[in-house]
Amino acid sequence: MKKTPIIALIGNPNSGKSSLFNQLTGLRQKVGNFPSVTVEKKSGPLMLEGQTEATVVDLPGLYSLYPKALDEQVVIDILANPHHEDYPDVVVVVADASNLKRNLLIFTQVADLGLPVVLALNMLDVAEDKNLQVNAVKLAMKLNVPVVRINARVGEGLDNLKKAIVQTLEKPTSFQKYYFDPAEQFPELIKEVKKSSQLANNYLALHYVQQHDIFSFLSTEKRVGFDKLIEKYDFKESGFQAAETMHRYAVIDGLVKESVKTTDNFLVKPLWTQRLDNILLHPFWGYAVFFLVLLTIFQAVFTLASYPMDMIDAGIASFNDWLKETLPPGLFTDLLTDGLVAGIGGVVIFIPQIAFLFLLVALLEESGYMARVMVIMDKLMRRFGLNGKSVVPLISGVACAVPAIMSARSIGNRKERLLTILVTPLMSCSARLPIFTILIALVVPATPVLGFFTLQGLTLMGLYLLGLLSALLSAWVIKGWVANTEKGYFVMEMPTYKVPRWYHVGLAVWDSVKSFVTEAGKIIVAISIILWVLATYGPGDSIEKAEEQVKQENPMLQGTELDNAIAAQKLENSYAGHFGKFIEPAIAPLGYDWKIGIALLASFAAREVFVGTMSTIYSIGSEADEDNGTIKARMRAEINPKTGKPMYTPALAFSLLIFYVFAMMCMSTIATVYRETHGWKWPLIQLAYMTVLAYGLAFLTYQLLS
């Protein structure tokens, strides 16, 4: 047994594979990319018997070792390469016991590769609801591998699964049975491939013939050699694959008939599930329910999160005041209070809203409702050149565009995948949420509408729907520029309805909030320090002369008014002020001043920096007092020097809101699109069209509302 054996989890989508992974690894998961491939993987430690620590790797879900999408290619690329760092010592195939026939296809393929396999029977409770009885002992005898009954949702059967893994690690070759031998039809071809590539397994040699083009570890010379062998032996790849699948299902039919018993009152789907699906999948009521669910989510983001947000906002303001009173006056105190604390506070305050958003989305995913959304949206998506599977990246884009764009690999059609990548950043991500909520709170009253709902919640939902609508329209426009060489398809298996597992929901919320805070925090700390320096110092002696200039121009000012005027003049004379003044003519038609211009530029690194930057600027540009200590209060108290009225009017606020709905202001997203499209062409097109949309529509909004 290896010092740190690798256990790979393989299974069909919705088989419970990820749930099992969470049960085995808990909070000790690591997220990264597979070597040389930009496909996200999850791995984590698992303690086995005898204090042996193994590494569990959760491989992408798939129905067959013949991949239909980019993320599925990772699986065969690993299983065909013993030198891959994630090459497993044991493969645990997670099977949905309520649909055993389909799930056993991937099992027989993995077993034929000669890999040590353990079969984990999951969803036995669902099988029982369908009046299906699975005899695990008989199945184990027929398959000649360990078969373990588990419930991945609640963690049942994990000890037995660990024992089976240890047993297989100790005797990896004791369980060996093959279901399909390609050498029976093409003996000379398989023999030549095995010899040239030094392989011992017939089925692995077949995959070298059929899938050598997608194997990342093969050289161009090797691939050309396989092409010549295909031509030499007149090997028909698609026909052979179809024949193999039919042969496997013939074998599987016999296994299932002997191992699974069905009672006379067998039900494909419980009656209550059918009735619920009749509503949720209805061509009218399905969309109506989805609209109501979205409205409830966005209203909850405002209503439920307002109390902890107000506490955090007031707490940060009080902490900042305490620091200023406790620490000696000087540059260090100013940097700490006006720079770091003000900037970070501008993001921390929004943790409750982000937590509520991810909580509600996680509940929808856990319950099985999100799959229904994908089905009802498929017909709509196709009208705009997209695919039902595009719903996953688009909805994931509400959290973050980076993993959302990466999840588009599950879309097999190249054109539909590219269109999804290009429009996903138009979905309003969690980084936009702080901007949306604070600007809405400044200019939109919390007037009740239809009882529970308010104008603020409706406005927030409207911004998210605007992002979705613009994504669909953009896809419709762009689709005419992208050639289509493949036929798109949408295959979606309906998962059963489930009671959400609060442990997994909590884990999803924790991971999402932690990622938001840590990723945003790195950028905010750096930008806050840079911004404080630029806003504290200026060219020549302009900063030193600010106080004298204010007293000469406004001799009647005294007390707090004088202090605020001096602070504002110093900011205007600083490097940041000069830079803001330089770009002000370009953004003035949108209603923005030089202070907002500084925040706009800073937020090109990450959108969430906008609020933190505004907090830092207004902290530096005024003296805090009891009535002006929180972020909201500072922005609400800001006066437009040209009009003498509040700066944040509805026209300005909605202009900013529209700008951030459309603006492509995230360097990480641009880098991800570059990796996914293998060049700068599409990222630059994406940046250009989104910037034009943002500026043009923000301009129209401001002019119409002014």
The Cβ of residue 610 has, within 10 Å, a number of other Cβ atoms equal to 26
pLDDT at 38: 45
Reported residue count of the chain is: 706
pLDDT-based confidence at 37, cuts 50/70/90? very low
When mean pLDDT is compared across 72-76, 302-306, 376-380, 424-428, the lowest value belongs to 302-306
Tokens representing 432? 């936009």
The Cβ of residue 550 has, within 10 Å, a number of other Cβ atoms equal to 20
**DSSP strands (E only) in 29-182:** 30-33, 40-47, 53-58, 90-96, 117-122, 132-134, 147-149
In angstroms, rounded to a whole number, what is the distance separating the alpha carbons of residues 166 and 1? 9
pLDDT-based confidence at 29, cuts 50/70/90? low
Is residue 335 pLDDT above 80, yes or no? no
Q: Over the chain, what is the mean pLDDT?
A: 80
Tokens representing 564? 């605020």
In angstroms, rounded to a whole number, what is the distance separating the alpha carbons of residues 19 and 634? 45
Q: Calculate what percentage of the chain has a pLDDT beyond 70.
A: 84
Q: Measure the CA angle with vertex 167, ends 162 and 172; round to 5°.
A: 125
| 656-679 burial code (b ≥16 CB/10 A, e <16) | bbbbbbbbbbbeebbebbbebbee
Is residue 35 pLDDT above 70, yes or no? no
Query: What's the average model confidence in pLDDT over 494-499?
Result: 71
For tokens 């052979």, the residue is 240
Q: Are 178 and 111 in contact (CB under 8 A)?
A: yes
User: β-strands 6-11, 30-33: how paired?
Assistant: unpaired
pLDDT-based confidence at 702, cuts 50/70/90? very high
pLDDT in tens, 447-486: 888 766 788 888 888 898 898 899 989 988 888 787 665 5
pLDDT in tens, 52-67: 888 999 998 888 998 8
pLDDT in tens, 129-171: 778 888 889 999 889 899 999 988 888 899 999 999 998 988 7
pLDDT-based confidence at 619, cuts 50/70/90? low
Q: Please, what are the domains in the chain? A: 6-170 (3.40.50.300), 269-537+574-706 (no CATH)
pLDDT at 676: 80
Beta-bridge partners for 44: 56
pLDDT at 204: 93
Q: Are 89 and 6 in contact (CB under 8 A)?
A: yes
The Cβ of residue 605 has, within 10 Å, a number of other Cβ atoms equal to 16
pLDDT-based confidence at 36, cuts 50/70/90? very low
Q: Are 134 and 97 in contact (CB under 8 A)?
A: yes
pLDDT in tens, 513-555: 776 677 656 666 676 677 777 777 888 777 777 777 777 777 7
- For residue 35, give every residue at least 6 positions away whose Cβ sits within 8 Å of its Cβ, in sequence order, or none: 84, 85, 86
Query: CB burial class (10 A; 0-12, 13-18, 19+) of residue 486?
Result: exposed
What pTM does this model have?
0.62
For tokens 């043009």, the residue is 696
Residue 619 CA from chain centroid, whole number:
34
pLDDT-based confidence at 373, cuts 50/70/90? confident
